[in-house]
Structure 1
Amino acid sequence: MQNLVRSLTPPARHLSSATGRLSPRPSFDSLVIPVHQGTDLRERLTTLLPDPLGQQLGTQAAAAGSKGKLNECHILYPDVPALADLRRVALVGTGQAPEAREQTPAELDEKTRVSVASAVKSLRSQGSKRIGVAVPEAHIAAAAAAASLALFDPTYAKTVAKPSAAPAVFPVTLAGRQLSEEAATEAWERGWVYGEAQNLARRWMDTPANLMTPSAFAAEVETHLGPLANVTVTAHDTDWAVAQKMGLFLGVAQGSAEPARFLEIHYRGAGAGAPTLGLVGKGVTFDTGGIDIKPWQGMEDMKADMGGAACVAATLYGIASLRMPINVVCAIPLCENMPGGRAVKPGDVLTAMNGQTVEVLNTDAEGRLILADALYYVSTVHRPSVLLDVATLTGAMAVALGSTYTGVFTNSDTLWSALNRAGNAQHELLWRMPMHPEYREVMRKSRVADLANLSASRGAGSCTAAMFLREFVGEPVRSDGEDDAAAEDRTLRVESSGAPVHYAHLDIAGVMSSKAGNGYNHDGMSGRPTRALIAYVQQLAQAK
């Protein structure tokens, strides 16, 4: 029995443990074993584990009626004197085996995430302190992300009924499995960082707005990202924004007593001449709608209207933690949208950093205003080759795609293909939306300004908002003597026209929150699509 398990060295910040074959007394009190549906569990366990443990668990599994269905979890209680520390074994179902039905690696990873998270939650609720997870080599990163996400505590503000302290979770290999310690440790670390990053976004989005003001958010980012290698965090004040002539950002911010901040984060993981990735996140830390105030139902969730900011900052945390060889500049305009005495009014005209004027037809369409100045700043001052913005921008996106997909508007087929691969790999699904010139034209119908912040028609609210943002990527696309065809090419056809930036706008309004508590989800803010963004950047870094 001394060859029952081998514990692999996990990241030091999660666990301190020696590497090597263990004595009959394992270093964990609980063990997670995924099983496929249709498997003879008694035979499987007796083959996989030495006697008498395998025999015991096989008998208990049969008595419990374990079937291996996806997300089915049975806690078994071994009684082996030589393994007295091993108190619980969680048999968790992963659904049909790969050989029973053809499944993609992404599908198998997602089954691993769902099943491992369910098991970790169940074991934590029973008081487990050190949990070993046995999964195939190909799915170790997915298991680590799931374990990290499962340990997220959404009840941080409660003073009673607090959950138990988070247990340590780490990978193990069962005897006879061929898995190198180095590969398992690296994959586990990488997956754990993916989960940690999403948890950061969840925490920031879940925090009440009185505790997550623009200044508080900037301080949080400094705390978590500032100590990381090659990262610099700068919180610009309103005087800086005035000097930059960010009239749209300042116009939204002026209705609140809370001072605005423009957060700029640089990660330099590659040489000075390497291409730069630009990230921009909407940072409205509370959105009342301004003068065009929202209905009261559900307004408490507007504390998460900085979800785009949370996701891009958390993405940068993941990038820097994994030390990806890439340069990134991240810009986050932070403010509240309040109906104060100085608040911008319907019909007001604001001047953007790029000199274009914007008529504010609806003060609740504020996200596109603050993003516009940030997009122009990043695209012209730092000139990234790829530029992404992430925002809880439009209710129309939730109507169109619900909570299943993030809507993606992009002028680049290459960029879309890479984002889509990353989203599928992490099961944070993306759906490409249209960017048509007609959506752009309806945003230009203002009697008193170059642009309006609301469409002249009621339909396609997400599409028109995306085209408004595209006006501020690079220099204004229209100039004297330029015909409509040339303007459309420069706006919509990056690869064929040779425009300098591959741009995508991700509208996350529909996926902002999760109502399900199953698997690695929890009832609250989701932090999506942070893992997909990290996976995309990993692709980008590897390609370079």
Structure 2
Amino acid sequence: MLVVPVGARGALPSWLVDAADPVVDPGWLAGALADTGNGGRPGGITNLPVPGRRPRSVVAVGIGDGTPAEVRTCVSIAVRRGQTLAEHGATRLVVALDSAAGPAGPEQLRAAAEAAVLAGYRFRDSSAPHPPRLASVLLVASTADEGAVERGRVAGGSVAWARDLVATPPNTADPAWLADRAVGRLGELDHVRTTVLGPRQLRAGGFGGVLAVGGGSASAPRLVVAAYDPPGAGTAHVVLVGKGITFDTGGISVKTTAGMREMKTDMAGGAAVLAALDAAAALGLPVRVTAVVPFAENHLSGSAYRPGDVVTHVGGRTTEVRNTDAEGRMVLADALAHAHRELAATALVDVATLTGAAKTALGARTGALYATDDALADGLLAAGRAAGEPWWRMPLAEEHVAHLRAQLDSPVADANNAPGNPGATTAALFLQPFTGGLPWAHLDVAGPARAGADHGDTVKGGTGFAVRTLLRWLESGAPGGGTVPG
């Protein structure tokens, strides 16, 4: 199967128009595009069987003006069509990336490689035979930039790993299993050291939030600390913290059945930060970065934590529990405090499927970004634009949130864990005291961490959202995170 990119207003690439023996007659193709209304809109598709020669099928896919985002859409549509044809005998997909807008550059090549890896992603745990898949995807461009393609391939592979972790059923993916997966994969990388804390070490370290949330489950909690420290990385140390709730019943404040169905994905933030570190180490980035993920299952039992309990976190700060379904912030609090107290972090970024309020505010495809440092926020926003992951900065300046701080008050503890609306902002305010005053960004991915349908190179289910943003940010020198070489 050959993919021909169709530019804006139906423009065909010069390599096809000027060819002495084109694989398909340009005039015939132009007529077919007109008949099907394919004017080059990104993702528009026209299928053309080519009898008697190879390839047997030409698929014209809109690429618009050839921006990286439009290339990502074009390649994603092509890969999905190719996987469909694979069930009828196709084995190889060839995607031409040079369009009427000009040759594909490094950003287009990287976007194409990511989409080639991710658009055809599927997770299956079935006794039925898996359908045939494409044996290979070949990207063709006149500009040779193997580095850009490799960065895209690595990024795509790490996002796919995050998706695998999120998609694995919760009766398999308990805290111990996820910790083992992290140790196994990251242990193969240079300059990465992974440590796992079990219940005894968590008690000794004062991780009251993790132990409280995980106390109701037969699967004991774990804390994964994965440190990437390459030679010459400098003194700046970015710590990425991810929420790792392996399944969330809501605890004693139990969820409805409908609210519980997707809760195996409540560890998507933890998967994202581990995958970002995986990619950074695989690419050999000159940056010191550590991923900290508290894995716990929020369950119901006689040992579950209760509304009314007072929990003591790492460092001694206390929380009055008013809602056991506000558990993500309880485990993140411990991890953030551990990062600034024990890991000598110079900047903190946490990623969490934290609040339904963030999804209500921004929808299912945009992440909420809170930050205490403008350079950090600007760097992450720019990284998200480059990665094709949209973010919206939410207010955290004192003039916006001063009146909300009183909602965290508790008569028996330093704060309560359910301060009310606006829920995404009050959750961020709950976490802020645990950051030790370091530059800090909080990424609430409750919406985009899960997808109800395929779009772009995202597939239904866990998306791996935030992995590519964090990787791009680390590649750019982690602005707001201190002085990082490169």
**Is the structural similarity TM-score above 0.5?**
yes
Superposed, which structure 2 residues align to 1:213-252 within 5 Å? 213-252=174-213
The secondary structure found in structure 1 opposite 2:468 is: helix
Find the counterpart in structure 1 of residue 477 from structure 2.
Answer: 540
Find the counterpart in structure 2 of residue 74 from structure 1.
Answer: 46
What is the aligned counterpart of 2:412 among 421, 443, 448? 448
**Distance (Å, rounded) in 1 between the aligned partners of 2:78 and 2:346:** 42
The secondary structure found in structure 2 opposite 1:540 is: coil
* Structure 2: gaps of 5 or more residues: 98-102, 479-483
After TM superposition, give the deviation of residue 473 of structure 1 in Å: 0.9
Q: Deviations over 1:90-119 (max 9, x none)?
A: 221123x37xxxxxxxxx111110111101
**Equivalent pair of 1:270/1:327 in contact (CA under 8 Å):** no
User: Which amino acid counterpart does residue 415 of structure 2 have in structure 1?
Assistant: L
Q: After alignment, is 69-78 or 345-354 more displaced?
A: 69-78
**Equivalent pair of 2:207/2:314 in contact (CA under 8 Å):** yes
**Equivalent pair of 1:149/1:521 in contact (CA under 8 Å):** yes
1:472 aligns with 2:434: yes
Superposed, which structure 2 residues align to 1:103-118 within 5 Å? 108-118=67-77
The secondary structure found in structure 2 opposite 1:220 is: helix
Provide the identity percentage: 36
What is the aligned counterpart of 1:524 among 461, 472, 481? 461
**Distance (Å, rounded) in 2 between the aligned partners of 1:315 and 1:387:** 14
What is the aligned counterpart of 2:31 among 52, 57, 62? 62
How many pairs does the alignment contain?
465
1:126 aligns with 2:59: no
After TM superposition, give the deviation of residue 170 of structure 1 in Å: 2.9
Find the counterpart in structure 2 of residue 153 from structure 1.
Answer: 122
Find the counterpart in structure 1 of residue 104 from structure 2.
Answer: 137
What is the aligned counterpart of 1:259 among 197, 200, 220? 220
**Distance (Å, rounded) in 1 between the aligned partners of 2:439 and 2:59:** 46
After TM superposition, give the deviation of residue 415 of structure 1 in Å: 0.4
**Equivalent pair of 2:348/2:440 in contact (CA under 8 Å):** yes
**Distance (Å, rounded) in 2 between the aligned partners of 1:389 and 1:329:** 12
After TM superposition, give the deviation of residue 314 of structure 1 in Å: 1.0
**Equivalent pair of 1:34/1:116 in contact (CA under 8 Å):** no
TM-score, normalised to structure 2's length? Answer: 0.91
Superposed CA RMSD in Å reads 2.0
The secondary structure found in structure 1 opposite 2:323 is: coil
Superposed, which structure 2 residues align to 1:198-209 within 5 Å? 198-209=159-170
Find the counterpart in structure 1 of residue 4 from structure 2.
Answer: 33
The secondary structure found in structure 2 opposite 1:137 is: coil
What is the aligned counterpart of 2:423 among 457, 461, 464? 461
User: Which amino acid counterpart does residue 23 of structure 2 have in structure 1?
Assistant: L
User: Which amino acid counterpart does residue 513 of structure 1 have in structure 2?
Assistant: R
Find the counterpart in structure 2 of residue 309 from structure 1.
Answer: 270
1:508 aligns with 2:445: yes
After TM superposition, give the deviation of residue 46 of structure 1 in Å: 4.4
Q: After alignment, is 228-237 or 355-364 more displaced?
A: 228-237
**Equivalent pair of 1:439/1:467 in contact (CA under 8 Å):** no
**Distance (Å, rounded) in 2 between the aligned partners of 1:446 and 1:366:** 17
1:377 aligns with 2:346: no
User: Which amino acid counterpart does residue 288 of structure 2 have in structure 1?
Assistant: N
**Distance (Å, rounded) in 2 between the aligned partners of 1:340 and 1:166:** 47
Which one has the largest radius of gyration?
Answer: 1
The secondary structure found in structure 2 opposite 1:284 is: strand
Superposed, which structure 2 residues align to 1:340-379 within 5 Å? 340-379=301-340
After TM superposition, give the deviation of residue 273 of structure 1 in Å: 4.4
Shift in alpha-carbon separation, 1:166–1:325, aligned structure 2, 3 A: farther
User: Which amino acid counterpart does residue 472 of structure 2 have in structure 1?
Assistant: A
Q: After alignment, is 324-333 or 216-225 more displaced?
A: 216-225
User: Which amino acid counterpart does residue 274 of structure 2 have in structure 1?
Assistant: A
* Structure 1: gaps of 5 or more residues: 1-29, 99-107, 475-490, 492-500
